[in-house]
Amino acid sequence: MNETPDAFEGETELNAEAGLDADPGDLSHVDAIIAERDQWRDRALRAAAEAENTRRRSEAQMNDARAYAIQRFARDLLGVADNLERALQAAPKNAEGAEAGLITGLEMTQKALLQAFETNGLKRVAPEAGEGFDPNLHQAMMEQPSDQVEGGAVIQTLQAGYELFGRTVRPAMVVVAAKGSGPQASAADQAAGNAAYAKAAEQ
């Protein structure tokens, strides 16, 4: 069956569009297709990276929002923990009968509250005497000489602090040993330190 000139021209146009009539030695159309493919691949990779960054930002913002909400709630509960501790400190040590039962109940309540804090990531910060001062967790309320603790270390915790997921909710209020303190400090250093402390207390 002979093809009409019109059919032949139509086939030629289709072949030209598909690149079938191109010179096999001319690969410019292949290079163009590869370049376009690479361009679309780069766009897809950028879009995927942007979507992942957006997801991470949203997740971080949600975590911050949750942590902030928990932090406010935790800070409100710290007053309860402080009152329990004050009550136990004021309780008589030689209580008997009903008083002893009440004190035991307070101790159990405090233990349960602190355990609930710990379970939910709220950790109590109450440095012992001799521990190093950490400005991220401690707040120095005063400085005084000591013959037991090295200078710059904590002498006493006045009020416990708390941290939540590595963030300080409330710093521990502490007394810090003055410079030159410690067992090796000479009597003259101790006297000078005591004099300086007494002078500061008078002002």
The pLDDT tens digits of the residues spanning 75-121 come to 888 888 889 988 998 888 887 888 888 999 999 999 999 898 888 88
178 Cβ contact partners less than 8 Å away, ≥ 6 residues apart:
143, 144, 145, 146, 151, 193, 196, 197
Which pLDDT tens digit goes with each residue over 27-82? 678 888 888 888 999 999 999 999 999 898 888 888 777 777 778 888 888 888 88
Residue type, 4: T
- Is residue 1 scored above 70 in pLDDT? no
User: What whole-number distance in Å separates Cα of residue 123 and Cα of residue 71?
Assistant: 12
Comparison of pLDDT for 109 and 5, the residue scoring more: 109
- Is residue 9 scored above 70 in pLDDT? no
For tokens 């401690």, the residue is: 138
The tokens describing 74, both together, are: 């935790």
Under DSSP, the state recorded for 164 is: E
- Is residue 190 scored above 60 in pLDDT? no
Quick one: pLDDT at residue 155? 92
How far apart, in Å, are the Cα atoms of 199 and each of 149, 191, 194? 21, 12, 9
Query: What is the reported pTM?
Result: 0.54
User: What whole-number distance in Å separates Cα of residue 107 and Cα of residue 63?
Assistant: 34
- Is residue 189 scored above 70 in pLDDT? no
Phi, psi dihedrals of residue 13, rounded to the nearest 5°:
-65, -40
Quick one: pLDDT at residue 187? 52
Which pLDDT tens digit goes with each residue over 141-161? 999 998 888 888 999 999 999
User: What whole-number distance in Å separates Cα of residue 137 and Cα of residue 88?
Assistant: 24
Quick one: pLDDT at residue 149? 87
- Is residue 193 scored above 90 in pLDDT? no
Most confident of 32-36, 120-124, 170-174: 170-174
Beta carbons within 10 angstroms of residue 75's beta carbon: 14
